[in-house]
Structures are given as C-alpha cells and as structure tokens.
Copies of this chain bind each other. A is one copy, B any other.
Amino acid sequence: MSEAELSIELKLEILKEKHNQIYDILVENEIDCWLIFVRETEMSPDSIMELVVGNAVVLQSAFIFAIENNKLKKIAIVGNFDANAEKEKQIWDEVIGYTLGINELLQQTIERYNPNTIALDYSKDDVSADGLSYGMYLMLEEILHKFKERFVSAEAIIRALRGRKTKKELEFIIKACQITEEINKRTTTNLREGLSEFEIQKMFYESIEDANVGYAWQKHQNPMCDAGPNKEFGHITPQPNIYTKKGHTLHNDFGVKYHGYCSDLQRMWFFGKKEEVPNELNHAIKTIIQAIQLAADSIKPCLHGWEVDKLVRDFIKMRGYEEFKHSLGHQVGLKAHDGGVLMGPLWERYGGSPNLLLEEGQIFTIEPSIKTQNYGMVALEEMIIITKDGCEFLVPPLKDFIYIE
C-alpha cells in the first residue's frame, strides 16, 4: 500500500490534533465564527479542507467553527450522501444533511450563533487562505445577506493552523525529508558522466516507486534535474539532450509526499574530484552554504519574513553576485509551497506575505541561488523548523558538492 497518502486512522488523528488548535486561534484573532463554504471539492478544492475535514465533498457544504459560551462548536452541513461519512468521523458536534438545498439550513445555523465576525477563506496575499471561489462568495452574499458586513478574511486563522505543526505533522515531514535523502543517496551510486537529465529523472522515478511514496509536486518537474552550465534553474523540465559531463555539476530539486506531508530539498553533484572544482564554482557553493547557515543562525520567532530574506540576499550581493530572483524560503506542509508567511523580498508579486511574522512550529525551506558566469546555477535547499528561540535543520544540511569521481 502506498505511503503517499494518509491512512484513514492517521488522518482522523491529525484532524483531531488540528481541531484542538482552532479554539485558541479564534480567540487570539478575536473571531467568533469561521465558515468554510465549498462544493465538488475534487474539482474545486479549498486547501484547508485537508486539515479540518479530511475528505472531498460533493454538494455545497458548510463547515462552521463557532464560539458559544467560551466553547468551540463544530457543525458540518453537507449533502445527504456525504452526511454519513461526516457522522462516522465523530469530530463534529452536529452534522446536518440535506436533500434540496443548503441555503436555509446555513442561514438558520448562523442566526443561531449570531456571530460578530464571520471569517471566510479569502486572501489577496496568501493563496493557502484563498480557497473560497468568487462564485461561492456571491452565493454567500445572498444566503447570508443580513451578515454581509460581518464577513472578514480567515487568513490569520488559516496561517496559524497550517503553520503550527503538530507532533504528528512534524514526524511525517521529517520522515519525508529522510526518504528524500535516501533516494538521493541511492541515485548517487548510479550517477555517471553521459547520462541525460531525462535518464536521471527516470532513475529517481524508480526509487520513488520503490519507496512507495508520492510526489510533493507535479511529477514531470519532480525531481527537476539540471545538468551542466547552460540550464537556467526553475520550472523547465529535464531534457533528453542535456547530459552530465566531467567538470560539470548536476542539480536537483526534489520532494516526496509521505502520509500526505511534503519534503522539498535541493542537492548538487560535481562530476570529478574535489580538487578539480573550478574556483568560480567553489566560491559559489561556499557562498550558498554560508548563506544557508547565516539564515539558520538568524531565524527565530517574531522576525518578519522579509528580514531574513534581506539579510541573506545582501550577503550574496556582497559576495559579488546578482541577487536571486525568487524568495529565500517558503513554508512546507501538506503542500510543498504551503502558503502563509514567506521569507521573501517585498516585491509586488509576493503581496503582504513577507511582512508577516515568523512563529514557533513553522517549517521553512532555505534556498538561495547564484548564477555563475561559466558553470550555470548553483543552489541548495534545506528545511528547518522554527523553535522557541531559533531553528533546527530537519535533516543535516549539505556542506559540499556530492562528488562523482
């Protein structure tokens, strides 16, 4: 049985852990009602569903977390065919099934709690908190028109809920990282000069299948394999006519999915002996390793995301390189790019996400990159968890190229 997805028992365990976080998060944010409103989630998912509902639903469905007399009430309103499944999970105080339509039931339920704020899953800055479609929003405006002025964004709730990893979540992500490294090691023994990127990706595919895990992102770009000096990193797939060669590097960006949780690591190989690494390449890889260590030494709760990014970005520039054209690091969880606070620059494309604060329990990548003159891109990616007063690597960081002699 594949270990990519969570078993039903483990999923329930995680749902309960996450449900237990919700009351405090609502209180912290002075929100007394959170409403998730979805339909046909196989086609149109709201990504937070995975953490608080755990399965797809068909008809319009509302999942409501409301505070009443200092207690959290959890209500699911779902189509008749989904009601049994929700009841069986025993995580809801109330499951309401319907046949004809949800409108009146949803209205009545919200009226019963009469909340001061109704947090909805929309956000300009944070894709992970933007699961409400515009069509569904228009429906809510009609169904709950009396409460329209009380609508607020649920982004702070979702950010906290996704970011604060529970013990089980951390365990699965560390395991995903370890499996990634095992597959990297196994593939290393088969690497040689003259292999195409395509062939190398296929070697990885075989190991991934053998390990019985899933892909942290779309398979044709996972792992990315970049061989030699002419390959600009990023979202270009491995090529059948670009080959590994003596004196050149190989780079991969690779993540697996274990029990639903992701890893995301970059590694680099050099074809030749350590003493054969050209000076330019040597300077670049050292800079990357130092930059990652600099980030790890700096990261702690309550910093803004952009502060860490800026420090590392400035360091790379001071070492004589152009700044990297992406963010320093993103959160990882159920998705490889897990949303929320970003360690990135204050560029328009990142919206307000680099302006948010780092928090204990968040898991981040650190992934600076450098473009060399003659040897292509140089980049590594490590993963850390933020602790009470610093951070810790999830697996040992790479401290040199891996050599294929």
> Is A131 a contact partner of B133 (Cβ separation < 8 A)?
yes
A349 and B79 contacting across the interface, CB-CB below 8 Å = yes
Contact check: which of B56, B128, B133, B135 meets A218 at CB < 8 Å? B56
A28-45 CB contact bits vs B (8 Å, 1 = yes)? 000000000001101111
User: Interface segment, A100-108, A269-277, A304-312, A395-403?
Assistant: A100-108
Contacts of A235 in B (CB 8 A): 57-58, 81-82, 84-85
How far apart are the CA atoms of A120 and B133 in the complex, in Å? 12
Asked whether A232 is an interface residue with its Cβ less than 8 Å from the other chain, the reply is: yes
Determine whether the beta carbon of B101 is less than 8 Å from that of A349.
yes
Number of A interface residues at 8 Å Cβ cutoff, please give it. Answer: 67
Q: How far is the CB of A277 from chain B (nearest CB, A)?
A: 26
Q: Which of A185-193, A284-292, A333-341, A356-364 contacts B (4 or more CB under 8 A)?
A: A333-341
Residues of B within 8 A of A168 (CB): none
Q: Assembly of this chain: how many copies?
A: 2
State whether A101 and B348 are in contact (beta carbons under 8 Å apart), knowing that A130-B133, A135-B130, A237-B85 are contacts in the complex: yes
15 contacts between A and B (CB under 8 A): A42-B337, A44-B45, A44-B127, A44-B128, A56-B217, A58-B337, A85-B236, A102-B348, A103-B348, A120-B134, A122-B138, A125-B135, A127-B133, A131-B133, A133-B133
Told that A40-B339, A99-B349, A124-B136 touch, could you supply 17 new A-B pairs with CB distance under 8 A?
A: A43-B335, A44-B45, A45-B45, A55-B218, A60-B349, A81-B234, A81-B325, A82-B234, A84-B232, A84-B236, A85-B236, A99-B347, A124-B135, A125-B135, A126-B135, A133-B134, A134-B136
Nearest 3 interchain pairs by C-beta: A101-B348, A81-B234, A130-B135
